């Protein structure tokens, strides 16, 4: 992967869309994720596994879905998007790194895309910080620590209909497969 540009961690909903009729905004999802990440009772309820990620599902605001996720050292998601859902996540413990693309990817009609130079972004999100994003946001999230577990809170609206998984070699992004909600619930 080319060396991505570094952006400082902050609580941001800068590329999040405004509220749609009856929907929850990315900023509202971020507020929920930050408040939940600061709640020790919720965070302590997550069982941690030293080998793999663990999670519990929560009800988010306004019909959104939310997850508390445990990240053992060295684990990550791989490149993916959340389809038509907007979302947010906040780190409760440890530090997560997000690699993302500063470009809107077409939602369908392609299997492989060559990315333009300078579309890579990196955010480091320590405890108490978070990030909101809009629809079709392609990213990967990982716990780069060699010895510290991380815990985070994620929220999505509308609830995730699917997740598209990608591989990446250099500047080429390839759609590998699509997971449906029944695959992870």
Q: What is the pLDDT of residue 22?
A: 53
| Two tokens, residue 165 | 């998984």
Query: pTM for this one?
Result: 0.86
Query: E-assigned strands of the chain?
Result: 5-7, 54-59, 65-71, 79-81, 86-93, 95-101, 112-114, 120-126, 130-133, 139-142, 150-157, 162-169, 172-180
Give the mean pLDDT per block of 10 residues along the chain (185 residues): 33 43 87 98 96 95 97 97 94 98 85 93 98 94 97 96 94 93 74
* Residue 62 DSSP symbol: G
Contacts (Cβ under 8 Å, ≥6 apart) of 172: 112, 113, 114, 115
Closest by Cα among 75, 72, 50 to 142: 75
Q: What is the pLDDT of residue 15?
A: 43
- 43-76 tens-digit pLDDT: 999 999 999 999 999 999 999 999 999 999 999 9
Contacts (Cβ under 8 Å, ≥6 apart) of 35: none
């Amino acid at each position: 992967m080319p060396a991505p540009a570094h952006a400082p961690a902050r609580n941001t909903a800068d590329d999040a869309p405004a509220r749609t009729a009856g929907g929850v905004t990315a900023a509202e999802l971020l507020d929920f994720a930050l408040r939940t990440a600061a709640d020790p009772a919720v965070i302590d309820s997550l069982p941690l596994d030293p080998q793999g990620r663990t999670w519990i599902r929560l009800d988010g605001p306004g019909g959104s879905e939310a997850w508390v996720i445990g990240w053992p050292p060295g684990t990550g998601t791989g490149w993916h998007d959340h389809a038509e859902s907007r979302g947010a996540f906040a780190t409760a413990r440890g530090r997560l790194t997000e690699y993302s693309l500063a470009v809107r990817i077409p939602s369908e009609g392609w299997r492989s895309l060559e990315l333009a130079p300078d579309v890579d972004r990196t955010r480091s999100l320590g405890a108490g910080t978070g990030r909101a994003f809009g629809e079709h946001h392609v990213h990967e999230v990982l716990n780069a620590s060699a010895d510290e577990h991380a815990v985070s809170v994620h929220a999505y609206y509308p609830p995730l209909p699917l997740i598209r998984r990608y591989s990446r070699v250099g500047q080429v992004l390839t759609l590998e497969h699509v997971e449906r909600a029944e695959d992870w619930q």
